[in-house]
Amino acid sequence: MTSSAILSYSIEPVAELPADDKLAAALLSSLAEYDEQLHGRRIWLACSGGRDSLALAALCVQLYRQGKLPFLPQLLHVNHGLQADSSAWAAHVADWAAAQKIPCYILRAQVNGHDEQAARQARYEVMRAHINQGDVLLLGHHADDQAETVLMRLIQGAGVNGLSGMQPWRVQRQGGQHNILWRPWLTIQRARISAYAQRLQLPYIDDPTNDTGDNVRSGLRRDIMPVLASYNPNVIDNIARSAQLLSEAQASVSAQAATDLQQIAVASLQLPSAQQVLNIDDLHKLPLYRQRQLLHYWLGQDEPLPPAKQLVDDVLLLSQRDDHDHQTEFFWQGRKQSYTIRRYRQQLYRLSNKWLTWLQLSLIEQAEMLPQPFSPEFNAADEQPILTTLRSDDNFIWQVQVLANVVARLLDHDQHEALLKSSRTAMLKIAPLGRKQRVQTALASRPQSGKKLYQTLGIPSWLRDSLVVISVDFIDEKMTENESPIALPIFLLSPFDRWVLSVDNLKTDTPSHQLTDLIKSNLSPEKDAKNRTD
């Protein structure tokens, strides 16, 4: 099977052919710059079979055979199946790689959509699924690509981050995986690569859709860049240089925003990728321009693309409101997941919608028999902590570990004597706090209903169904169906905090801070639970 898009040169080994000095210098210079980060990593080369990627692969083969490149990358070709000749292109790339004795893998991608962005996303997803954690993906993007990218983002109204264009070295994160995108040719013009490919007579694929003008990038390439070059023949280098300057400026802005975030984030309420919280009072201490920069940085955490300026403006206005209306919320569909931005009192919350869905799951009630620490058979060394899961799905897990034997020893000695002489048993119970259930925190003067406690303790509406009471219930075997056990509440627990409840029935010489040490509350992404040790 052949394709008219493939140049009619025959497939020949390129190792012994002369390399291009400028292209080689750019690659080797970038190699030296990122040598430490590259050490020990596997290198893959995304090879569409087009001029740029095939030229980069050819140069790698030449420099590797000459002993100048310490690795020979493995090629990845993605067959989208979007064109009639897609299979012929994949076979051609595999044949060329075999002639060069370079490993090559053909991957199939399912594209959800018909535009270039959908194809690009599918391409990266299938490559990420193939390579391993921390591997490097070598890309043949060049200065012309950079200029087109900057112009595209300029007409889309991008800020400093967007106008800094593509980065030569970028860590790309998706879920729990991270990989490196490495672009060593961003200072090299397309014309140089074309001359090199012609000199080697590379049989590259000249995709006819690249210059049709039916998308923004190809339209800029065909219609706009020649006009700009007529005004200034150095336009490509100049735009690439501007992108580099803006990249350096963005690094300064991001560093300042990261520093501000450390001062303004509410550390006790952070859950990576799920819940990020800012203190509004501290936010307003910053100059207005730094508030905007911080919100832009804060909203865009964990996402490859930044939030829209309108969203940043809306969230800034939300932080400035003083009407005590906390019902306003904003929705943002990021690349990785969707988010809801809310305010409660003097705090801003960026909440993933996966997290909000998890918070609606029912809590699992738990009950466990307590040991009798004053009985002759009791041996504290043999007692194991009670580890229980309160709520879990594929995204998050909330587990609580209680030192039940120590809780039992906190009970008054006379109570245990009474337990031993009666038919009562003591149960450790963990159950949701009811809206009408009345409990008293250790520092409060009187008991309050759950509904009142929400406001007293400053619990946002979306976390109110996640409050649990840990209590000791005294159960008499002779109780009738109409009788209830005697309950002694000890702790009130939320995913992010805990409170000691009234300790009148506990040993009076037990400090409150020792009580809180009896519980370990672990809330994390579900994938981290297997690796957690307590």
Helix axes 190-200, 143-155, angle to 10 degrees: 140
The answer to whether the annotation marks 49 as part of a ligand binding site is yes
Bridge partners, residue 392, by sequence: 397
**Can you read off the two tokens belonging to residue 282?**
């501290």
CB-based burial, 74-97: b 16+ in 10 Å, e otherwise = bbbbbbbeeeebeebbbbbbbebb
SS3 251: helix
The answer to whether the annotation marks 504 as part of a ligand binding site is no
Bridge partners, residue 212, by sequence: none
* Bridge-based pairing state of the strands 366-369 and 424-432: antiparallel
The answer to whether the annotation marks 51 as part of a ligand binding site is yes
pLDDT, averaged per 10 consecutive residues of the chain (534 residues), comes to: 82 96 97 94 95 97 96 94 85 96 93 76 89 95 95 90 92 81 96 97 85 75 93 95 93 95 95 94 97 96 87 95 83 92 95 95 84 55 76 91 70 55 71 89 84 91 92 71 72 89 58 63 72 43
The answer to whether the annotation marks 50 as part of a ligand binding site is yes
The answer to whether the annotation marks 334 as part of a ligand binding site is no
| Number of residues that make up the chain | 534
- CATH code: domain 7-247 is 3.40.50.620
The whole-model pTM stands at 0.79
- pLDDT, position 65: 96
- pLDDT, position 303: 86
- pLDDT, position 521: 85
Domains 7-247 and 265-357 share a fold: no
User: What class is the 265-357 domain?
Assistant: alpha beta
Q: Are 338 and 331 in contact (CB under 8 A)?
A: yes
Q: Are 488 and 474 in contact (CB under 8 A)?
A: yes
Instruction: List the chain domain ranges.
Output: 7-247, 265-357, 362-533
The answer to whether the annotation marks 41 as part of a ligand binding site is no
- pLDDT, position 530: 47
Alpha helices in 265-308 (DSSP H): 280-283, 288-299
Instruction: Specify the amino acid at residue 216.
Output: V
